[in-house]
Amino acid sequence: MKLIVAIIKPFKLDDVREALSEIGIQGMTTTETKGFGRQKGHTELYRGAEYVVDFMPKVKVEIAVSDDRVEEAIEAITGAANTGKIGDGKIFVLPLEQVVRIRTGETGDGAL
């Protein structure tokens, strides 16, 4: 099992959710977050004062998938989140040792 963590632009969240739903992945957790990479923020003007916005708004999407679904999940996220512009985000894949469904006590792939 793997935990896929994707950092994407906020306006792409619905597209990513739909793309994952189309391939049968329904469960996900999202968190509003801020960060920067190569995008490095930008300068804004507010009431005549210029200030630097270092951290850009992002959404972190977390999904747990079985090993055989990792590549198709990555492809779905990449296809839906891609704008071709800097700041599209990143996808991280982490090993997932155990999953337990609290309601039933199921473990492993059955709990996904």
Domain limits of the chain?
2-111
Res 107 pLDDT > 90: yes
Res 47 pLDDT > 80: no
Q: Which CATH class is domain 2-111?
A: alpha beta
Averaged pLDDT for residues 44-53: 70
Res 82 pLDDT > 90: yes
Res 2 pLDDT > 80: yes
Give φ, ψ of 79 to 5 degrees.
Answer: -65, -40
